[in-house]
Structure 1
């Protein structure tokens, strides 16, 4: 199996389009010195605007990065450029300089300390007093959430009873107050959905039916939580997660582990005033399971979780409980990400009708799903008078799905059309009730990838 990444794999790690462009310019030999590589790491010094060059080192097993530059982007343009040089066979074996070795050793020591802490943890878990205290906190919170859910049910019933005529003028105000009450009740999931009702009712065509649908879903969630103890275990876990209860990653990793060679299907970032969230989707080569990894960072700072699109990662995953398990926690890795064999470079995809069926089945298990990851086989991106769509032209009758423009820029869509050139592509993305959000495309018989999850 070829272990060297391609430039497309490297550039899929870029936090944005300017980083891609800057890294490509820096990947020439001129600014670099003291470069080298071994089987698991890269290093080099890159000339910047000052007299002292920036020192950059990459741990391929993460991948993880360190650079002396002041950039807050992760990875920075220097790390990306160093990876691009390595992908082009520019870096050969060389002794590790002290400054690079010190960072790699410190990183290895932290990993060992973390493993030791986990190994030293008592198999019996926390002591009885700590368990009792945690149980009391959970009981108090559950009571608050139940009271908030009952209040929300009553509010929704009152709104439906009074009619929807005044709903478009409500805006965020009243529902913002309801959301604040749900926050007080320690139910952030209910708060988020209540807050969204203001945007639905504020404007837009067909608002009455859309608003009534949202009322119904929110009422279902609130009433489901009040009956959560009588629900099947998997569905109860889904309801608790949607309401806002979280499970620690360490607790998830104590459950069943699934080891596989996971193909990185793609990634996307979303940024708000409180958090930067990175989503990375995987598919097991042997199990066929889809998985979603989440990484979080402070506002303006990219999360450390970073995997190159199109590569295989031999690792163990543990899935969060739920009626349709998707979110996972990354456990032990067994080597650095590597290029897949040619026969596995392109994930098997579904025809459009089958993909919609897959989304519908997932929605049957979890009615509150916004979308579901699918790979579409042989679709053509096409601009129309009503917006972009992905067309399946190979069936008895041509079919198409609209592109959800909230997740993809115009530049990204035109790039997708350019690599297609009117020819069918394999496209990975999220299928939802608003359409399809393309994230990654494979073209030239799968030898090249086009990533759309990075802001253009």
Structure 2
């Protein structure tokens, strides 16, 4: 066993376990399986928790969870991760009903084999695969890069022309023409190997007729897309951080192994929030972190095929000692998690700022990256205020407030959950600031030396 295997994971709370659930039905099913009578051969050693769960057939499901990650495996046919069996096992463990491996027997072979394979995959990720895969002909790579740059430039030039045509003929015609023209333009951007431009074109196509103020929103987004196209065509004249931001927004990617081979940031990272979004073909997981020593925010992005939750599934409110490598940009937020990190340990309440300070930080970030969709902030000493025209988050003294954005996470039941946590008293809230307002994701109430986080998403 390696050093990581020898460490003993601190038990999680039931709320932290349920925060891993991919959906409400999984939470309910996992809770129903947290019954000792359904399990046999359970045990825990190091960061591993395992057991056999009786299923519908004659053979029980082998379930194992590595709390350092975390990651899981189960013999059931579910494509969800974690599945209901992994959640039920973790709930038993959190309740103290899964002890250390009994009678000195250690881990079963199937648990050790899965852990070893998982560690091997992490090692391959850290080195970027074999040398042959990373190598290749440098001259051929240079020519491929030149061909792509030429195609992207041609696509950006075509996009500029189409946006000029839109403004020349007037925005009113955009509603009559329907979505087909936008989809054709987006397809042209895909052909030009500029997926970032294609995505923003599709977002433009969804605006006409979407509300009473859609012409103003369409004009704003058209201006931002035109600015991005111009930046793409003039990258050589831009400061290096802004040029890196433009490349990222256009759709250029950087290999994770290449990032991890460069400068990294070591810290104890507190997990502020985690949520998934799906478009029918792909599930995207966003995990927000806060560096406790350096105070730096970080965003982990991971992806999974439709119906399968991405990894990692870091529990909200825990912290892990890890290295992150950040993607280049004017305000680097997106990061890659290094493969060597400790198990998630109990965290605390993050430091926060008043509303005015958060708005100022968001404004500075927009100055460096006008295409910024969301800026992470922790608001301290604030209260949620429902109103006839929408919710607000306000400083306790009433000095400043910010509207809560209508779409997305943090609305509906989540906002009433936030109100229940607050009870009219000041709380700490993490969320994303965007041009439509503040989207709350996690709240910490007062009381206790280590207040537990309350996820506001379902």
Correspondence list, 1:368-447, <5 A: 368-395=371-398, 397=399, 399-445=401-447, 446-447=450-451
Gap change, CA 1:107 and 1:169, over 3 Å in 2: same
In the TM superposition, residue 115 of structure 1 has moved relative to its aligned partner by: 5.7
In the TM superposition, residue 25 of structure 1 has moved relative to its aligned partner by: 2.5
Match of 1:327 in 2: 334
Match of 2:362 in 1: 359
Bigger drift between 66-75 and 200-209 goes to 200-209
- 2:138 matched to 1:126? no
In the TM superposition, residue 359 of structure 1 has moved relative to its aligned partner by: 1.2
Structure 1 distance, partners of 2:248, 2:415, is 33
Structure 1 distance, partners of 2:456, 2:82, is 17
2:257 to 250, 261, 265: 250
Structure 1 distance, partners of 2:121, 2:173, is 58
1:103 to 92, 96, 114: 114
Give the match's secondary structure for 1:281: strand
- 2:47 matched to 1:40? yes
Structure 2 distance, partners of 1:199, 1:114, is 38
Match of 1:202 in 2: 209
Bigger drift between 25-34 and 347-356 goes to 25-34
Could you list the runs of 5+ residues in structure 2 that have no partner in the other structure? 1-7
- 2:144 matched to 1:137? yes
Bigger drift between 324-333 and 172-181 goes to 172-181
Give the match's secondary structure for 1:256: coil
In the TM superposition, residue 284 of structure 1 has moved relative to its aligned partner by: 0.7
TM-score after normalising by structure 2: 0.91
Gap change, CA 1:383 and 1:218, over 3 Å in 2: same
Match of 2:84 in 1: 77
- Kindly indicate whether the alpha-carbon contact (under 8 Å) linking 1:170 and 1:198 is maintained by their aligned counterparts in 2: no
Match of 2:153 in 1: 146
In the TM superposition, residue 422 of structure 1 has moved relative to its aligned partner by: 2.2
- 2:195 matched to 1:192? no
Could you list the runs of 5+ residues in structure 1 that have no partner in the other structure? none
Bigger drift between 315-324 and 379-388 goes to 379-388
Gap change, CA 1:381 and 1:30, over 3 Å in 2: farther
Gap change, CA 1:247 and 1:6, over 3 Å in 2: same
Give the match's secondary structure for 1:71: coil
Structural RMSD (CA): 2.2
- Kindly indicate whether the alpha-carbon contact (under 8 Å) linking 2:385 and 2:393 is maintained by their aligned counterparts in 1: yes
Give the match's secondary structure for 2:12: coil
In the TM superposition, residue 392 of structure 1 has moved relative to its aligned partner by: 2.3
Gap change, CA 1:2 and 1:444, over 3 Å in 2: farther
2:349 to 332, 346, 349: 346
Give the match's secondary structure for 1:21: helix
